[in-house]
Amino acid sequence: MSTPTLSQPPRHRREDEFTGERHVYVPHSVGLPPLRSYVHELWRRREFAVELSRTQLREQHFNTVFGQLWLVLNPLLLAFVYFLLVDILRRSTSHDGQFFAHLMAGLFVFYFIHNSITVGVKSVTKGGRLILNSAFPRALLPLAAVITAFMRFLPTFIVYIPVHIATGLPVGPELLWIVPIFALFALMAAGLSMLVAAAQVYFRDLSSFLPYVLRIWLYCSPVLYYAERVPERYRWILDVNPLGGLLTAWSDVLNRGHAPETTSMLLGLAWGAGIFVVAALFFMSREREFAVRL
């Protein structure tokens, strides 16, 4: 019987954990893996996230004509339903096409967030054997959900374009603002996806509450109404709503034809970056535990 021991004291080169041919595993003092090699490995395995997203889409029959059609038709019908609903509630006599464009654009981008969350929430708990048997940055799983949501958002946005033109909304260089605004939406989607995916490991009923939370969130967001029509005493709802600033900016650019206000952009940036950083730290500090929690 013998237990050979190391002659030299352990060198804690934490950056060696994932990279290269040499791997060192030591306890994590603060629960966080070494960030640099984590991000490096994450990027090295981006193909995995893309492929995982592709299989998710295939499950939803994204690769067939009718499957694609349904993915476009579904949010489109939803936009019609909400348009009728809001139209009736407003008791307006004039049917406002530009409002329909606003509703559509807002609803589609809201559903990008919505899908990131609903696909992402089960990404870790469904990862089962992959998580038990291979070592890889787990954040790839919720991030793949964001790619899936984006692939589902793209065709709906293409459907929006003719509506935008038909309702006579301006087309100009200020439309380029949608790129940074959407980047912030994506940042927030990635954060929220990681947050719910990690939380789902500890609270398996989270995914059944989420649809209600998301529905209420939609009603609190300037999608079914214009942000500026919100009465003064309810303005705070838009300020505390993480999507308030971004959706206002989104509608300003797409449906009002002017650059977004600095305050709504800053609000969106603060919420987006804040949620992303908090969620990423939470997810990474917990991910080493997933293998024993599944």
Partner 1 sequence: MSSLSVSERTAISVDDVSVTYRTSFERAPTLRSTILRLGRRERVVREIEAVRDVSFDVPHGTVLGVVGANGAGKSTLVRTIAGILPPSEGRVEVHGRVSTLLALGVGFNKKLSGRENVVLGGLAAGLKRDQLAEKYDDIVRFAELEEFMDMPMRTYSSGMYGRLAFSVAVNMEPDILLIDEALSVGDARFRRKSAEKMRELCGQDRTVVLVSHSLGTIQELCDRAIWMDRGRLRMWDEPDAVVDAYTEFLEVGQDAVTLEDV
Binding site for partner 1 (CB under 8 A): 1-8, 10, 12, 17-18, 21-28, 41, 44-45, 47-48, 51-52, 55, 59, 126-136, 140, 202-206, 209, 288-289, 291-293
Q: How far is the CB of 122 from partner 1 (least distance, A)?
A: 12
Q: How far is the CB of 154 from partner 1 (least distance, A)?
A: 22
| Eight-class DSSP state of 2 | -
Q: How far is the CB of 175 from partner 1 (least distance, A)?
A: 35
Question: Which CB, 109 or 145, lies closer to partner 1?
Answer: 145
Residue 261 near residue 287 (C-beta atoms within 8 A): no
Q: Is 238 helix (H, G, I), strand (E, B) or coil?
A: helix
Tokens of 4: 């050979």
Question: Which CB, 32 or 230, lies closer to partner 1?
Answer: 32
* Residue entry with tokens 């291979």: 134
Residue 42 near residue 140 (C-beta atoms within 8 A): yes
Question: Which CB, 45 or 87, lies closer to partner 1?
Answer: 45
Q: How far is the CB of 115 from partner 1 (least distance, A)?
A: 19
- Residues sharing a CB contact under 8 Å with residue 209, sequence separation 6 or more, in sequence order: none
* Residue entry with tokens 């609190």: 220
Q: How far is the CB of 198 from partner 1 (least distance, A)?
A: 13
Question: Which CB, 3 or 94, lies closer to partner 1?
Answer: 3
- Distance of alpha carbon 153 from the chain centroid: 11
Question: Which CB, 33 or 260, lies closer to partner 1?
Answer: 33
Q: Alpha-carbon distance 140 to 19, whole Å?
A: 16
Q: Alpha-carbon distance 131 to 292, whole Å?
A: 10
